[in-house]
Amino acid sequence: MNSSDKRVTWEKYFMNIAHEVATRSTCERKHVGAVIVRGKTILATGYNGSIRGAAHCDDIGHEMENTHCVRTIHAEANAIVQSARHGVRLEDSEIYVTASPCYDCFKLIANSGINKIYFGEFYRDERILQYANELKIELIDLSK
């Protein structure tokens, strides 16, 4: 057995990192992590959490609307914001997310230039399937 037989695939490697990033989430309702990658290099990470400097759900409770906690910023949005804060271009990159993006995060992903989305579980919003197809953004379900 050679060493390459023991190594995880790049997809598994980056999804493993996304799961580790999710451990930083500050809303116990759902821990989500995201990793943006281009050319096998990590550009940014993000997890769902409160506005920078604001109290966390885990500390003061949730701000609920239509069964969703709206106190948090989603992992994908946080990763995109981190890229912007550090001047990192996202054109032609890919994102690994532990759960498929909501519709709003999908729109941010599409407009940022990310053209491939890997996700670990499908989460709620079927609209992303239609728009991904229309916009030629690859959606890859790694749960299968």
Sign of CA dihedral 71, 72, 73, 76: negative
Closest CA to 97 of 46, 39, 42: 46
Active site residues: 76
Closest CA to 39 of 110, 94, 119: 94
User: Residue 136 gets which letter from DSSP?
Assistant: T
